[in-house]
């Protein structure tokens, strides 16, 4: 794949890059299944986890991925940091960078924040979610999980359903699935769609019942109440009735069709609680695969940087995927 210093958006990757990362992920899944799931690929490297928004999956899976590659992690708890005393993002990044780090995983409420951070550090920056904009490693975990079950994604039909307006996962996955040859349809009320979808590789419907029998993946999105400042739907009960994956709709999915969700879920809002636990719901597999995908991303960004490679670590690099 092409040399990549940062991963900020699914737009940074072409299909060959995605294929390379997913193939490498498969090798790291195998590493993760070993009795001692650790290789020396990033020994001596430090990754800072800088999270200005809450996270369970992304933060813990990056920490686990770094540990499995023998990298050290530097945690940054914004609630206990000098950001609380008014320190700017730039000063925070420059301070952390001065401690000698090689990678920064950034989650920030501001769309575009990771692009600014790249200007303030020599470390490789990975976007762990910026506002409503992008969440590329979630998309890679989803593509990997979908490919594991369905094979190549060319011609597969993917419905992304719910609060698309506020979802960085929807934006990353629209790009990711389309680059892998899938057809993406957004399913949402007008009030939960972005003002313009010009240039997006998607079609749109306001009726889940129109497409539910034909799709290969039903990808539900969390209702992001914390980002909704108006009332885009009358009630959650009504939203569930009109746009949720109810048991009746889940029964209509094709045989082999997958139910996906990035988590955290609002059970009985976007997805019926019982449906989330069905065998074709691969939600916990998405989480598990998130570790191996993030190992692949950390290795490709940090382990492949020639300016960071020392003579003594070349053997470690070569054994990274062995």
Q: Write out the catalytic residue numbers.
A: 57-58, 85, 107, 135
State the nearest-atom distance from the C-beta of 168 to ligand CP, in Å. 8
Closest CA to 138 of 258, 293, 14, 300: 293
Taking the alpha carbons at both ends of the chain, their separation in whole angstroms is 18
Q: Note whether 268 and 237 are within 8 A (CB).
A: no
User: Residue 18 or 260: which CB sits closer to ligand CP?
Assistant: 260
**Phi then psi for 210, rounded to 5 degrees?**
-70, -30
Q: Note whether 185 and 204 are within 8 A (CB).
A: yes
Closest CA to 197 of 221, 235, 164, 242: 164
Residue 2: CB atoms within 10 A of its CB come to: 9
Q: Which stretch binds ligand CP (CB under 6 A): 25-33, 223-231, 241-249, 262-270?
A: 262-270
Q: Find residue 104's DSSP bridge partners.
A: 48, 125
State the nearest-atom distance from the C-beta of 218 to ligand CP, in Å. 17
What are the start-end ranges of the E strands in 109-251? 124-130, 157-161, 183-187, 202-205, 217-220
What is the contact mask toward ligand CP in residues 126 to 155, using x (rule: CB under 6 A)?
---x--------x-----------------
State the nearest-atom distance from the C-beta of 60 to ligand CP, in Å. 8
Size of the site for ligand CP (CB under 6 A): 9
Among 55, 81, 148, 304, binds ligand CP (CB under 6 A): 55
Q: Which stretch binds ligand CP (CB under 6 A): 18-26, 177-185, 260-268, 311-319?
A: 260-268
Q: Which stretch binds ligand CP (CB under 6 A): 90-98, 171-179, 243-251, 258-266?
A: 258-266
Among 228, 263, 285, 304, binds ligand CP (CB under 6 A): 263
CA–CA distance, 36 with 296 (Å, rounded to integer): 18
State the nearest-atom distance from the C-beta of 173 to ligand CP, in Å. 11
In degrees to the nearest 10, what's the CA dihedral of 304, 309, 314, 319?
Answer: -40
User: Residue 55 or 97: which CB sits closer to ligand CP?
Assistant: 55
By CB under 6 A, residue 58 contacts ligand CP: yes
For the chain, percent helix, then strand, then coil, each to nearest 5? 45, 15, 40
State the nearest-atom distance from the C-beta of 166 to ligand CP, in Å. 13
User: Residue 51 or 243: which CB sits closer to ligand CP?
Assistant: 51
By CB under 6 A, residue 162 contacts ligand CP: no
By CB under 6 A, residue 173 contacts ligand CP: no
Q: How does DSSP classify residue 254? A: P
State the nearest-atom distance from the C-beta of 228 to ligand CP, in Å. 17
Q: Note whether 166 and 158 are within 8 A (CB).
A: no
Which residues in the 59-88 window bind ligand CP by CB under 6 A?
Answer: none
Q: Which residues would be at the binding site for ligand CP (CB under 6 A)?
A: 55-58, 129, 138, 262-264
């Amino acid at each position: 794949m092409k040399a990549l210093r940062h991963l900020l958006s699914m737009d940074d990757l072409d299909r060959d890059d995605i294929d390379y990362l997913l193939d490498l992920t498969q090798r790291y899944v195998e590493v993760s299944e070993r009795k001692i799931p650790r290789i020396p690929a990033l020994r001596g490297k430090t990754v800072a986890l800088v999270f200005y928004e809450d996270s369970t999956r992304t933060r813990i899976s990056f920490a686990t991925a770094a540990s499995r590659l023998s990298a050290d992690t530097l945690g940054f708890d914004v609630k206990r940091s000098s950001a609380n005393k008014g320190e700017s993002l730039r000063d925070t990044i420059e301070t952390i960078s001065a401690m000698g780090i090689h990678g920064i995983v950034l989650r920030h409420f501001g769309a575009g924040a990771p692009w600014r951070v790249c200007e303030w550090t020599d470390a490789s920056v990975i976007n762990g979610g910026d506002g409503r904009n992008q969440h590329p490693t979630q998309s890679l975990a989803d593509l990997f999980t979908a490919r594991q079950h369905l094979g190549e994604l060319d011609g597969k039909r993917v419905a992304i359903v719910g609060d698309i307006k506020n979802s960085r996962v929807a934006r990353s996955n629209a790009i990711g699935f389309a680059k892998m040859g899938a057809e993406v349809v957004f399913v949402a009320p007008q009030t939960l769609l972005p003002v313009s979808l010009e240039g997006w590789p998607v079609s749109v419907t306001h009726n889940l019942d129109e497409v539910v029998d034909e799709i290969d993946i039903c990808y539900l999105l969390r209702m992001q109440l914390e980002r909704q400042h108006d009332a885009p739907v009358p009630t959650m009960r009504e939203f569930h009735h009109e746009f949720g994956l109810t048991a009746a709709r889940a029964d209509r999915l094709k045989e082999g069709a997958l139910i996906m969700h990035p988590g955290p879920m609002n059970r009985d809002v976007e997805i019926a609680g019982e449906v989330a636990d069905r065998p074709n719901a691969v939600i916990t597999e998405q989480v598990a695969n998130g570790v191996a995908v993030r190992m692949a991303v950390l290795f490709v960004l940090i382990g492949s940087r020639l300016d960071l490679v020392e003579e003594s670590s070349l053997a470690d690099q070569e054994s990274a995927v062995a």
